[in-house]
Chain A
Amino acid sequence: MKSIKDLEEIRKKTLDTINLRKDQSGIRVVVGMATCGIAAGARPVLMSIMDEIKKNELADVVVAQTGCIGMCRLEPIVEVYRPGEEKVTYVKMNPSKAIRVINEHIMKGKIVDKYTIGAEEK
């Protein structure tokens, strides 16, 4: 059985790592989580992003949620912000596409062109 007491242990461990990562990158991954995104499958996309971030220990990547981006027919939409670079918008995402974006764009800096809005709108 899990108990609130487990959290004390997690607190101690996490405090150490927080102190280590203070001056790191500022990559942000934003998932659209309005009615349109939710209906199109944004929740499992967000879950797969979280799992992949945890798996690869990308503690400095911030994952956030936002409302309707205004392009409901292209949901689920994931936006990636890397400091000093232009925002990249990925559309019609699913969990496996999201994992690929984490592995290639977030971890190696390589944009997955074919999932971007630019490729979709061609």
Chain B
Amino acid sequence: MKEISLHILDIVQNSIAAKADSITVKIVEDLTTDTLVIEIIDNGSGMDKELAERIKDPFTTGRKTRRVGLGVPLLYDACTRCDGNLKIQSERGKGTTVIAWFKHSHIDRAPLGNMIETILTIVMGNPEIDFIYIHNYNSKEFRFDTREIKQALGEVSINEPQVLSWIKGFLEEGFNSLSGGAEK
């Protein structure tokens, strides 16, 4: 994947497939420790320990169209290539947390990329899921929480075009406030 935000979109699809109704994506960029940490936390169906171990292997998959699945293996490869690693914590019936970390300055680390498109894609396709995004950049923090938006909207769906375009503007302001728009 060309952007880390594409990996995030991909891993979130696993949470959706696991019937999560709450998904949190947390990104922590810390330049003093030179780390980029990504956490994807869901309350979906989870899996047992044995499957959680196997999932880094491309020949482990939940899909039915073919016998390989590349979502987690691609992310695993991307972070181990950058002096990082990937960990999966999961419990059946409780949910799954995927934690991936990278050396921030590693030459092979893909840019975070267009997180705004990733968030819009998730929100648009899954209006019923509560989606929380927390981005911490050198201890400045930006939060986006669809629960607040849904509360303000009442009976209007979050994936109405006007709402999505408001969300887009809100996210743009949020990302600019974090880093001055340094990494795009």
Contacts and interface: CB of A to CB of B under 8 A. Distances in A.
A34 B13 contact: yes
B65 A1 contact: no
Nearest to A62: B159
A107 interface: no
Contacts of B118: 43
Interface string B102-133: 00000000000010011011001100000000
Contact of A11 (B125, B153, B164, B165): B153
B152 A2 contact: no
A6 interface: yes
A39 interface: yes
B124 A10 contact: no
Interface in B141-184: 148-149, 152-156, 160-166, 169-170, 173
A118 interface: no
Interface of A: 1-2, 4-8, 10-11, 13-15, 18, 33-36, 38-39, 43-44, 46-47, 50, 53-54, 59, 63-65, 67-70, 72
10 contacts: A2-B169, A7-B152, A7-B163, A33-B121, A38-B10, A39-B10, A47-B120, A50-B124, A59-B161, A67-B17
